[in-house]
Amino acid sequence: MKRRNFLLNSAATTLALTIPRISVSKVNENYYKLTAESKKFKFGEKGNKKSNLWLYNQKSPGPTISTKKGTELIVEFKNLLKEPTTIHWHGIRNINEMDGVSNLTQPAIEPGETFIYKFPLNDAGTFWYHAHNKSWEQVARGLYGPLIVEDILPIGFDNDITLVADDWRLTKEHEFDEKSLGSLMDWSHQGRLGNWLTINGESNPKISLKENTHVRLRLINASNARILNFKFKNYSAKIIALDGAPCEPFIKSAFQIAPAQRIDFAIDIKNKDLMLFETSTEKLYPTALFPIEKTDSITDNKINLKNLKSWDNFPNLNQPEIIDIHMQGGAMGNLSSAIFNGEKKSLRELASKEAKLWAFNGEIGDYSYTIAEIKMGKTVILKVWNDTAWKHSMHLHGHHFWINSFEFGKIPKMIMRDTYLMQPGEKAELIFEANNPGLWLFHCHMLEHAASGMVGVINIDS
Ligand SMILES: [Cu+2]
Domain ranges across the chain: 3-307, 321-461
Task: Using pLDDT thresholds of 50, 70 and 90, give the confidence band for residue 16.
Answer: very low
CA–centroid distance, residue 419 to ligand 1 (Å): 11
* Same fold across 3-307 and 321-461: yes
The count of other CB atoms within 10 Å of the CB of residue 238 is 17
Pairwise pLDDT comparison (34 vs 13), residue with the higher score: 34
pLDDT of residue 1: 39
Using CA atoms, how far apart are residues 13 and 45, in angstroms rounded to an integer? Answer: 9
* CA 195 from centre of chain: 18
CA–centroid distance, residue 418 to ligand 1 (Å): 15
Which tens digits make up the pLDDT trace of 341-392? 999 999 999 999 999 999 999 999 999 999 999 999 999 999 999 999 999 9
Pairwise pLDDT comparison (459 vs 14), residue with the higher score: 459
CA–centroid distance, residue 298 to ligand 1 (Å): 47
Which tens digits make up the pLDDT trace of 276-311? 999 998 899 999 999 999 987 776 778 899 999 899
In the CATH scheme, what is the code of domain 321-461?
A: 2.60.40.420
CA–centroid distance, residue 337 to ligand 1 (Å): 18
Task: Using pLDDT thresholds of 50, 70 and 90, give the confidence band for residue 10.
Answer: very low
Using CA atoms, how far apart are residues 440 and 203, in angstroms rounded to an integer? Answer: 36
Q: CB–CB of 65/33 below 8 Å? A: no
Q: CB–CB of 457/341 below 8 Å? A: no
pLDDT of residue 282: 87
Partner residues linked to 196 by β-bridges? 168
pLDDT of residue 12: 36
Q: CB–CB of 293/266 below 8 Å? A: no
Pairwise pLDDT comparison (18 vs 92), residue with the higher score: 92
Q: Which CATH architecture has domain 3-307?
A: Sandwich (2.60)
User: What burial letters (b/e) apply to 163-202, b meaning 16+ CB within 10 Å?
Assistant: bbbbbbbbeeebbbbeeebeeeebbbbbbbbbebbbbbbb
Which tens digits make up the pLDDT trace of 53-108? 999 999 999 999 999 999 999 999 999 999 999 999 999 999 999 999 999 999 99
Which tens digits make up the pLDDT trace of 98-155? 999 999 999 999 999 999 999 999 999 999 999 999 999 999 999 999 999 999 998 9
CA–centroid distance, residue 190 to ligand 1 (Å): 7
pLDDT (mean) for 44-49: 86
pLDDT of residue 300: 72
Mean of the per-residue pLDDT values of the chain = 93
The DSSP string of 221-251 is: E--SSPPEEEEEESS--EEEEETTEEEEEEE
Beta strand 213-221 with 392-396: parallel, antiparallel or unpaired? unpaired
3-state helix, strand, coil in the chain (%, to 5): 10, 45, 45
Using CA atoms, how far apart are residues 457 and 115, in angstroms rounded to an integer? Answer: 24
CA–centroid distance, residue 395 to ligand 1 (Å): 10
Beta strand 343-346 with 401-405: parallel, antiparallel or unpaired? unpaired
* CA distance readout (Å), 1 to 13, 59, 127, 168, 352: 17, 23, 27, 10, 31
Count of residues in the chain: 462
CA–centroid distance, residue 100 to ligand 1 (Å): 21
Phi, psi at residue 247, to the nearest 5°? -125, 170
Q: If residue 86 lies in a helix (H) or strand (E), which one and from where to where? A: none
* CA 119 from centre of chain: 20
Which tens digits make up the pLDDT trace of 176-228? 999 999 999 999 999 999 999 999 999 999 999 999 999 999 999 999 999 99
CA–centroid distance, residue 170 to ligand 1 (Å): 22
Residue 3 above 70 pLDDT?
A: no
Q: CB–CB of 448/187 below 8 Å? A: yes
Q: CB–CB of 12/48 below 8 Å? A: no
Residue 15 above 70 pLDDT?
A: no
pLDDT (mean) for 146-171: 95
Q: CB–CB of 153/71 below 8 Å? A: no
CA–centroid distance, residue 231 to ligand 1 (Å): 24
Number of helices (H) and strands (E), helices first, in the chain? 5, 34
CA–centroid distance, residue 188 to ligand 1 (Å): 9
